[in-house]
Structure 1
Amino acid sequence: MSHGHSVGSSDRPGLLRIEDCLDARGRVVLPPGVNLISLIERNIDNVGDGVAYRYLDHTGSAGVRAVEVTWAQLGTRLRAIGAAIQRVARTGERVAILAPQGLDYVAGFFAAIKAGTIAVPLFAPELQGHAERLETAFADALPTAVLTTASALGSVEDFLGRLPTARRPAVVVIDEVADSEGDRFTAVEIDVEAVSHLQFTSGSTRPPVGVEVTHRAVGTNLIQMILSIDLLDRNTHGVSWLPLYHDMGLSMIGFPAVYGGHSTLLSPTAFVRRPERWIEALSEESRHGRVVTAAPNFAYEWTAARGKLPPEADVDLTNVVMIIGSEPVSMSAITAFQTEFEPRGLSPNAIKPSYGIAEATLFVSTVAPDVPPTVVHFDRTELTLDRAVLVAADDPGAVPQVACGQIARSQWCIIVDPQSAAELPDGSVGEIWLHGDNVGRGYWGRPEETRQAFTARPSSRLTAGSHAEGVPDDETWLRTGDLGYRLDGELYVTGRLADILAVDGRHHYPQDVEATVADATELVRRGYASAFTVPADDAAGVRVVVVAERAARTSRVDPEPSAEAIRSAVAERHDLTVADVRFVSAGTIPRTTSGKLARYACRAEYLAGTFDG
């Protein structure tokens, strides 16, 4: 990995250089005064005329419209919007962004931070199916002000109108703030230990909570990401359709700020409707230099299936780096995507399985720049006993596991027994615990949950081969709630502790059971089955339940033979009895705002009788 060259080119003094962020031991240490706002100001001074962000607007009838903002123009907007915020909110108060994807959102997020307030990146209330998540986040953050756009103002006013009058925040309409407002802006000293923004978790295993991400954590994690993915070349650009209220989406607008590059953004809707738009945007940037993008599993599967391009399409993916994360990474998603786009120049090393979590700002691990994704196979029965035992790919009990690579520089990751808190040796499955300057400060307004998750200490460390080496004994760790193991220098993520099907002393992974369900019958829409446990009627033990969405054009098919096929396949492959199989129509199973199965919410709906009849 190269870290000798500066992130800024030598003829532009003043841009951040990576070596300025490393101490004598090569550890990441943010220089004094470095934060997102100071980095943007360096870009204004040094590459002010360069494009900072480009938004591809696909909503018009005349095709795509590209809107751009330079660093200098962005600086002008931040001062103006920042001044408007300062009129209605004080330092340290929360400012929520309830706006559609676009450049106004980017400007609003950065302006809230520049004004000395705590940004709360959320979404416009018109986002279908997530009203409850928005209400939860709002009730938690209690924002003093809301930033929105003229186009979303109606839905925002309707949403705020339902709040008690005492809690109603002031509203700033970003695109109606005149540049001249900037004259009234009051500069704010940013404390690196203060909270930059509240990142609400995805809500896949419990209601969303706001992670307090500090300025130090943001800066540290961006440097870690740049080093791990080798984004040191200033000619590296980003392309992202990820929602800007999502941690991965925010990182995609954060990293250009570090060294004056630029990011091209699309809306999630534009991507889902026509996934080839993502590919075309990547190809366009790939002609000018390296381009990095990030997306969850489902996006790679969706694009391989629905984003097919005609043979004559002029698409070149030679310089593309693609991060795949969220949920345990699926090799089938990677293979499908690679098969489809290899003829377009996609390198075998392009796709980077990675692991990240909102509580650690985001980025934790990824595979080395010059290696392809790798998959190993473990014995299913041994995995249920929390042991990682390698078997051949064609072994009947083989479970594929994708390596999520090496832990980022200046992060520590240990695997811990969830009950005893003792560090476990490599090859044992346990809870993933993290330590580093990139870890957030806690959960906003939730002291007890903060204490449990952010102040953990291992009860014992390994005497040899400990991955806690270099962290003082009295330092605290983040309990991620994720399960995994380390083997041969790589991290493997097996699932969420809260999602585990714990039956008769064994731990079964829901995604493994759900894959069996989809394999058992054509009636199941692949990727849309949820397996979970509920209390048994006699309360001594649990029952395993499967809720599955019907595949297209199967609404009239009798479900009973398929339910029987599912029961027998799960019994044979996992030695598990499925007590109840429910088939529901497409779109019924709740998903998070990032597209993951919300098993927690699905289980709650099942228990509430939502799927009865």
Structure 2
Amino acid sequence: MNRRTGRSIPISAGLLQVEDCLDADGRIDLPDGTTFVSLIDRNIAHVGDEVAYRYLDFSGAGTHVSEITWTRLGVRMGAVAARVQQAAAPGERVAVLAPQGLDYIAGFFAAIKAGTVAVPLFAPELPGHAERLDIALRDSRPAAVLTTAAARAAVQAFLEQLTGLRRPEIITIDDVPDDAAVDFVPTTIDVDDVSHLQYTGGATRPPAGVEITHRAVGTNLVQMILSIDLLDRNTHGVSWLPLYHDMGLSMIGFPAVYGGHSTLMSPTAFVRRPLRWIEALSEGSATGRVVTAAPNFAYEWTAARGVPAADAGIDLTNVVLIIGSEPVSVDAIAAFDRVFTPFGLPRTAFKPSYGIAEATLLVATIAPAAQAQVLYVDRDELAAGTAVPVPADHDLAAAHVSCGQVARSQWCVIVDPDTGRELPDGQVGEPWLQGDNIARGYWDRPQETQQTFGARLTGTLANGSHAAGADLDRTWLRTGDLGFHLDGELYITGRIADVVVVGGRRYSPHDLEATAAGASPIVRRGYVAAFAVQDGDEERLVIVAERAAGTARVDPAEAVAAIEAAVRERHHAAVTDVRIVAAGTIPRTTSGKLARRACRAAYLDGVFDDRAITPRV
């Protein structure tokens, strides 16, 4: 664990080196005073004239490119932080409700520089997520809100309709003049102070604000740099991920550690034309290594809609692709590989990873030189709690992609959640985590914090324990996920809350959804939700599937029958209700994951009733 050795490295010593963040035993031990603000100040002192962030704006005619150097970022941070200090006291929350862009980055870092707690959210125009924004604002109770001139009217209108909430002061980032920085009051920020609240995606429960400390974010960024080999300053980031999401924030976080840079665009720009992402990756690949991150659906969407012409000059030779935020899909990797290998994509490009907001982000990933690895296990045995490898063509084979090895100075123990005892390799249980990257808890939720962050192991394995080297007197984080260790690899199989129980048997929703998606060309792959609902004393299996493009006029009856037959044959389960719905109907989290909880609620509320097609049982 972190030794707290009291080491301090002056800014004059140069850019921070990863070696500066390790103790004599190679464990992560951040120098005293390591915060986002200190890292940016160090970059200003040594690479101030170099680009920190680049934003590609596709909202108008053509492409507008904006850049900000480290020095310029420092000026904007100081000016906006001074205004924040006039509206909020140290430790109060300051929400960022702005469109994706350089002003968002300046506002986020300025809130931290001011000594307040940043709350990265989004402008109200984000479709389908007004309820999440409402919940986050009521929960965090910000003293001030940072936005832009373009979004201010919408932000003000949204805040006015929030009843029972103290009206926060609205600060328009791009209207704050540079000379406002003269009013900034230097403030002391401790590494164990909260940097920001990271609101969870809401896939299985209402969003909660995770308290990320400076120590946690600094530790996790170093873990990421070591795990993915981002030691070279000539490694660039490219991202369209929303900056209010933990993976999106990581893409502006890791350049701050060593003075690199990231190129950003909006999620909308990516969805409308995924080729933009590929073109930006190719441009970065021409000058050095380039790293990006995205969930399954993004790689599938790009493989379907973002393929360049053969003579487009696209070169992905130096690209690293992090894939995560949910159990990694082997189909997503295969589809992307198949399409982009001709453009130089290396076999080692994909880095299947596991991460959660409560651990700041990264928990595990595969080695830099490793290829993505697929393990096939017996589906029935896995449902019963044991991973039994089988051939890929086995009747009950279920594919699971390895998430590799746990990051340095972090521990992941697979535990029986009911007893708190460590399980042996090959047994399915709940991953429990420990390390300095773990968040402090949930904002203003002491009971949930104790339940999730206060777990204690009641027993470890005598041999081969994954808790070796951890502090057994320290608490552990319950992830709420399911997974297992096997042959030195970590596998994540899903969320405990998503497990489908029908007739006393447990089913993986991912397996059911994959079967349904493959049953008919009418079904849109990756857009199927499977869940159980209670009907008296019985559980009923329900599947909601979106239509694939170009099938709006096709009678869905044949698809419903095919789904029913495929699930019965493959899983020995009866589907009692199938809904074939229009594209975009199934709710998703802000990171693009299926929101099964919200989909189930919509089903129970009758949202899909006018599209009901009930199979024969």
Residue 523 (structure 2) pairs with residue 524 (structure 1): yes
C-alpha separation in 1, matches of 2:561 and 2:52: 56
Alpha carbons 1:386, 1:507 under 8 Å: kept: no
Cα deviation code 1:346-372 (max 9, x no counterpart): 111011101110000001111000111
Residue 312 (structure 2) pairs with residue 350 (structure 1): no
Number of the residue aligned with 1:4: none
Residue 558 (structure 2) pairs with residue 575 (structure 1): no
Give, in angstroms, the shift of residue 181 of structure 1: 0.2
Alpha carbons 2:134, 2:162 under 8 Å: kept: no
Number of the residue aligned with 1:293: 292
Work out which of the residue numbers 593, 597, 602 in structure 2 matches 1:600. Answer: 597
Report percent identity of matched pairs. 65
Cα deviation code 1:120-175 (max 9, x no counterpart): 00000001110001001111100000000001111101101112375110000000
Give, in angstroms, the shift of residue 13 of structure 1: 3.9
C-alpha separation in 1, matches of 2:345 and 2:522: 34
Q: 1:554 to 1:287 in 2, by over 3 A?
A: closer
Residue 554 (structure 2) pairs with residue 557 (structure 1): yes
Give, in angstroms, the shift of residue 274 of structure 1: 0.8
Number of the residue aligned with 1:132: 131
Structure 1, unpaired ranges of 5+: 1-10
Alpha carbons 2:520, 2:559 under 8 Å: kept: yes
Cα deviation code 1:53-96 (max 9, x no counterpart): 010111121x1111000000000000000001001000000000
TM-score of the superposed pair, with normalisation by structure 2: 0.96
Number of the residue aligned with 2:147: 148
Number of the residue aligned with 1:501: 500
Number of the residue aligned with 2:106: 107
C-alpha separation in 2, matches of 1:368 and 1:587: 36
Number of the residue aligned with 1:34: 34
Cα deviation code 1:318-367 (max 9, x no counterpart): 11111011211011111111121112111110111011100000011110
Number of the residue aligned with 1:589: 586
Summarize the alignment of residues 447-486 of structure 1 with structure 2, pairs less than 5 Å apart. 447-486=446-485
Number of the residue aligned with 1:376: 375
Q: Which amino acid is 2:339 matched to?
A: E
TM-score of the superposed pair, with normalisation by structure 1: 0.96
Give, in angstroms, the shift of residue 562 of structure 1: 2.5
Q: Which amino acid is 2:267 matched to?
A: P
Alpha carbons 1:295, 1:324 under 8 Å: kept: yes
C-alpha separation in 2, matches of 1:312 and 1:263: 27
C-alpha separation in 1, matches of 2:185 and 2:508: 53
Residue 82 (structure 2) pairs with residue 87 (structure 1): no
Number of the residue aligned with 2:439: 440
Deviates more, 1:557-566 or 1:568-577: 557-566
Give, in angstroms, the shift of residue 555 of structure 1: 3.4
Residue 539 (structure 2) pairs with residue 545 (structure 1): no
Number of the residue aligned with 2:312: 313
Number of the residue aligned with 2:265: 266
Q: Which amino acid is 2:609 matched to?
A: D
- SS of the residue corresponding to residue 545 of structure 1 reads strand
C-alpha separation in 2, matches of 1:350 and 1:44: 32
Number of the residue aligned with 2:277: 278
C-alpha separation in 2, matches of 1:166 and 1:420: 41
Summarize the alignment of residues 70-469 of structure 1 with structure 2, pairs less than 5 Å apart. 70-164=69-163, 167-469=166-468
Alpha carbons 2:228, 2:367 under 8 Å: kept: yes
Cα deviation code 1:176-204 (max 9, x no counterpart): 00000001101111111111000001111
Number of the residue aligned with 2:6: none
Alpha carbons 1:549, 1:586 under 8 Å: kept: yes
Cα deviation code 1:23-50 (max 9, x no counterpart): 1111001110111110000000001101
Cα deviation code 1:91-123 (max 9, x no counterpart): 000000000000000000000000000000000
Structure 2, unpaired ranges of 5+: 1-10, 611-617
C-alpha separation in 2, matches of 1:543 and 1:579: 6
Give, in angstroms, the shift of residue 584 of structure 1: 1.8
Residue 12 (structure 2) pairs with residue 20 (structure 1): no
- SS of the residue corresponding to residue 322 of structure 2 reads strand
C-alpha separation in 2, matches of 1:380 and 1:490: 19
Alpha carbons 1:236, 1:261 under 8 Å: kept: yes
Number of the residue aligned with 1:59: 59
C-alpha separation in 2, matches of 1:456 and 1:521: 44
- SS of the residue corresponding to residue 485 of structure 2 reads strand
Alpha carbons 2:350, 2:372 under 8 Å: kept: yes
Alpha carbons 1:246, 1:594 under 8 Å: kept: yes
Q: Which amino acid is 1:21 matched to?
A: C
C-alpha separation in 1, matches of 2:475 and 2:302: 41
C-alpha separation in 2, matches of 1:373 and 1:438: 25
- SS of the residue corresponding to residue 151 of structure 2 reads helix
Give, in angstroms, the shift of residue 440 of structure 1: 0.4
- SS of the residue corresponding to residue 472 of structure 1 reads coil
C-alpha separation in 2, matches of 1:606 and 1:364: 34
Give, in angstroms, the shift of residue 418 of structure 1: 2.2
- SS of the residue corresponding to residue 512 of structure 1 reads helix
C-alpha separation in 1, matches of 2:34 and 2:256: 11
Q: Which amino acid is 1:144 matched to?
A: A
Number of the residue aligned with 1:7: none
Number of the residue aligned with 1:47: 47
Give, in angstroms, the shift of residue 473 of structure 1: 2.5
Give, in angstroms, the shift of residue 315 of structure 1: 1.4
Number of the residue aligned with 2:615: none
Q: Which amino acid is 2:585 matched to?
A: T
Q: Which amino acid is 1:485 matched to?
A: F
C-alpha separation in 2, matches of 1:345 and 1:410: 34
Residue 65 (structure 2) pairs with residue 69 (structure 1): no
- SS of the residue corresponding to residue 467 of structure 1 reads coil
C-alpha separation in 2, matches of 1:256 and 1:187: 24
Cα deviation code 1:519-546 (max 9, x no counterpart): 1222222211110011122xx2411111
Q: Which amino acid is 2:501 matched to?
A: A
Q: Which amino acid is 2:584 matched to?
A: G
Alpha carbons 2:441, 2:449 under 8 Å: kept: yes
Q: Which amino acid is 2:543 matched to?
A: V
Give, in angstroms, the shift of residue 384 of structure 1: 1.1
Alpha carbons 2:138, 2:165 under 8 Å: kept: no
Give, in angstroms, the shift of residue 551 of structure 1: 2.4
Count, aligned residues: 600
Q: Which amino acid is 1:574 matched to?
A: H
Number of the residue aligned with 2:606: 609
RMSD (Å), alpha carbons: 1.3
Structure 1 moving runs of 4+ over 6 Å: none
C-alpha separation in 1, matches of 2:504 and 2:22: 46
Alpha carbons 1:383, 1:507 under 8 Å: kept: no
Number of the residue aligned with 1:6: none
Q: Which amino acid is 1:550 matched to?
A: R
Give, in angstroms, the shift of residue 505 of structure 1: 4.2
Cα deviation code 1:544-598 (max 9, x no counterpart): 1111122234334333332222122111111111121122222111111111110
Alpha carbons 1:126, 1:155 under 8 Å: kept: yes
Q: Which amino acid is 1:414 matched to?
A: V
Q: Which amino acid is 1:358 matched to?
A: A
